[in-house]
Amino acid sequence: MAHYNFPLRMLRMVKDAAREGRAIMPVERAIQRLTAEIGDGLGIDAGRLEVGGRADVVVRPTPRRRPTRGGSQNILLCDPTLLKTDAGYR
């Protein structure tokens, strides 16, 4: 039970129900309930994407593929992700 991921399970239930014609709630509402409502309930500044707000999501660049010397394998390349802390970016 320690590794049970209820938010992903809930999103799957909402999407499956909508696909089967017995919608529980819109997916957008489910995401709000699993993010913003939890942050509000805990009294923390989290769960929303707002201009100027605290970032609690990281958007990484799409990996690029580069052929190796033999040409038969690919290596995934990713630009480094910056992490903003109180001391600045690192």
The helix (run of H) or strand (run of E) holding residue 53 is: none
CA distance 14 to 26: 7
Which pLDDT belongs to residue 6?
87
Residues 6+ apart with CB under 8 A from 29: none
CA 61 to chain centre: 14
The list of the chain residues with pLDDT below 50 reads 72-79
- What pLDDT sits at residue 68? 54
Q: Model pTM?
A: 0.56
**What number of H helices and E strands is found in the chain?**
3, 4
